[in-house]
Amino acid sequence: MSQAMLKYFSGVASSWSRYRKSRAYYWNQVSQFMAFYSNPHAKVLEIGCAMGDTLAQMPAARRVGIDFCPELIDQARAAHPDIEFHVMEAENITLQEKFDVVIMSNLIGYLDDIELVLTQVQRVCHQKTRIIIGHYNRLWEPLINLAEAMHIKRKSPEQNWLSKADVSNLLFLAGFETYRTNSCMLMPFGIPLLAPLLNRFVSHLPLMGALSLNNYLFARPLPPASCSEALSKAENVDINN
């Protein structure tokens, strides 16, 4: 990530925990969704873990978090001493082990080179690793910009607004196949009765998922033969262009 991005996250690190608690409903929903796809025997890695609060809710035998912001990692280590944290850029993952689950929550839109990061993810995957990527639905861009202007949401750095198809294509080029997609959360605020009704029931009705705030993609490494074919297609596209 850029120095400007690092400066932003270093600047908000001291208020990160307080801000997250003020938006506890949204973040708890995200964490619970991610946690559903882990198990007590899994080895879990979170890329862009911030203070590690989502990772802390993952059932796992081993949990590791990486983030490029030293201030956030310092707070993560203090808040969750039972989890292993590293100051590390997503573009240069140097971990020497394989994980069963790799999660990236609300990170991918801030990356300068998404394909490079996904290629790095390959280094920590075995053939049965599952990757879970959560990102904002680009249909919500005007509402999120409005929320930031009204100080309902903290202003964030400019990000890439990607569709599920965009992310799926990038995963394929990096040697992964998307085997499931999901969309959820029509109401990001914990309004009694209304939030459970919209998020647990209405969001699962036909066509309503397309309007949800969060998109999720589930991916796994392509078999070696398929991976070679994907790389060959990518090279041909570069040559033709």
Check residue 198 and give its pLDDT: 94
Region of poorest pLDDT, from 52-61, 140-149, 165-174, 183-192: 140-149
Check residue 204 and give its pLDDT: 84
DSSP notation for 91-118 = TS----S-EEEEEEES-GGG-S-HHHHH
Instruction: List all residues 6 or more positions away from 214 whose beta carbon is below 8 Å from its beta carbon.
Output: 30, 33, 134, 135, 136, 137, 183, 184, 185
Residue 148 has which token pair?
């930031």
Mean of all residue pLDDT scores within the chain: 91
Confidence of residue 62 (pLDDT cuts 50, 70, 90): very high
Check residue 235 and give its pLDDT: 54
Region of poorest pLDDT, from 42-56, 97-111, 117-131, 152-166: 152-166
Instruction: List all residues 6 or more positions away from 204 whose beta carbon is below 8 Å from its beta carbon.
Output: 184
Region of poorest pLDDT, from 58-62, 98-102, 233-237: 233-237
Check residue 231 and give its pLDDT: 56
Check residue 229 and give its pLDDT: 60
What is the per-residue pLDDT across 74-119, written as a single tens digit (0 to 9) for each?
A: 999 999 999 999 999 999 999 999 999 999 999 999 999 999 999 9
Quote the pTM value: 0.89
- Helices assigned H by DSSP within the chain: 3-12, 16-22, 24-35, 53-56, 70-79, 114-121, 141-149, 164-173, 194-196, 224-240
Check residue 225 and give its pLDDT: 67
How far lies 145's CA from each of 149, 150, 154, in Å? 6, 9, 10
Mean pLDDT, to the nearest integer, of 180-185? 94
